[in-house]
Structures are given as C-alpha cells and as structure tokens.
Amino acid sequence: MPTHDSPPQHQSQPAAPALVEVLDPARRVVAVLPAGEVARQKLCHRSVTVLLFDGQGRLALRKKPKTPGGRPVRWDVPVQGPVLAGESVQDAATRALKAELGIHAERLRPVLELPAQPENNNEFLHVFSLARSEQAPPTGQEREGADYFFAPEELDCLLRDFRELVSPRFILLAEAMSLKGLWRRRP
C-alpha cells in the first residue's frame, strides 16, 4: 500500500528583530544592531517622542506599569520609540503614534531635539507634537497603564512637587522645553 507523505509543515518564522542605527557623538552611523541590544547596552541612537495635546491644550501622559525589574510606576509620554535603520525621524514618529495610540497623523510638528545623554538612555531624542480636538481613542495599552490629560497647572504641580512620580526622561524633556520657552507655547 503506498504511503502518502504529508507535505512539510511550515512553521512560522519569528519576526526579525527591529534594527537600530548606533551613532557616534557626531551622529555618524557606526553599527546597526537589534533594538533590544541597543537599549540593553544603552548605546547612542536616535529616538522619537510625540507630545499629544487635546483641544484644551492638555498634555497626555501615561502612568507606565511597574517593570519586571521592579522600577516604580512613573508618568511618561505615551508615544516614544527608536528610529529604525533607514527610517526618517518623521516616519518613526508617525509609526510610533500609530502603534501606541492607533492614530495616523501625516503632519507632526517638530518641536525639539535633545542630545544623547545618560538621563535619556543615550538617545538623540527628536520631539514632535500633535494637537487633536478630541482625546486619543482607547487602546489595549490603557489596560496596562493609565492615560491622563494634564492641564498646564497640573503638569507644573506634578513636575514641581511630585518629581519622583515622573520618569527621568520626561523631567529632562520638560526642563529642556522650559529653558527654550517652548513649554508655555502649546500647539
């Protein structure tokens, strides 16, 4: 009796890791490595953050859940991520906004660039803003953390009196924006 060989089963291949360009202090590419490895070693690379404002000028922050490493819960910007190899910072910001909040925005306003330093995980940080007339749609991420739109006075109080509840990266960002007079000029 003839045997029927079954066709080979195709196992799904794991997704290739996202690759990030490692930069030297002059922002020249010196290597391309997986994003996880770049973050683990805190190597210099480009990243983006999108500040999302509602129609009343309030800034969205997310209370990030406790990490497996036991770091405390802190308020931070909900949209941030690395710039992938070969990607523009504008495209990276658009991708991160879509991935985190499900919002597609073609025109994000560039606000600020920060140099790589230990407080922001050695990231050359490119900051964009987006003003929306309505609040961001609910996402699955909100079950893990809490989103809140802070009025300017609430944000000032949070940064002045409760700094321990805010991520070091966001403190650095807020101080840089304040020094450049950008904090009070909201979109």
Q: Give residue-wise pLDDT tens across range 60-101.
A: 999 876 666 666 689 999 999 999 999 999 999 999 999 999
Would you list the domain boundaries of the chain? Answer: 19-134+143-179
Identify the pLDDT of residue 179: 65
The per-residue pLDDT string of the chain (187 residues; one tens digit each, 9 = 90 and over) reads 545 554 555 556 667 789 999 999 899 999 999 999 999 999 999 999 999 998 888 999 998 766 666 666 899 999 999 999 999 999 999 999 999 999 988 789 999 999 998 878 899 999 999 988 765 444 444 444 578 999 988 998 999 999 999 988 899 899 888 866 665 555 4
In the three-class reduction of DSSP (H, G, I as helix; E, B as strand; rest coil), residue 122 is classed as coil
| CA distances to 65, 75, 92, 115, 116 from 69, in Å | 11, 17, 27, 26, 23
> Class for domain 19-134+143-179, per CATH?
alpha beta
Structure tokens at 162: 């409760």
| CA distances to 3, 33, 120, 165, 167 from 75, in Å | 63, 29, 15, 6, 6
Phi, psi at 121, each rounded to 5°: 60, 35
C-alpha angle 150-89-110 in degrees, rounded to nearest 5:
50
H helix and E strand count, the chain: 5, 9
Q: What is the mean pLDDT of the chain?
A: 83
Identify the pLDDT of residue 158: 93
Distance (Å, rounded) from C-alpha 27 to C-alpha 146? 35
- What count of residues does the chain have? 187
**What beta strand segments (E) does 11-141 contain?**
19-23, 29-34, 45-53, 59-64, 74-76, 79-82, 109-114, 123-131
The residue whose two tokens read 């809140």 is 148
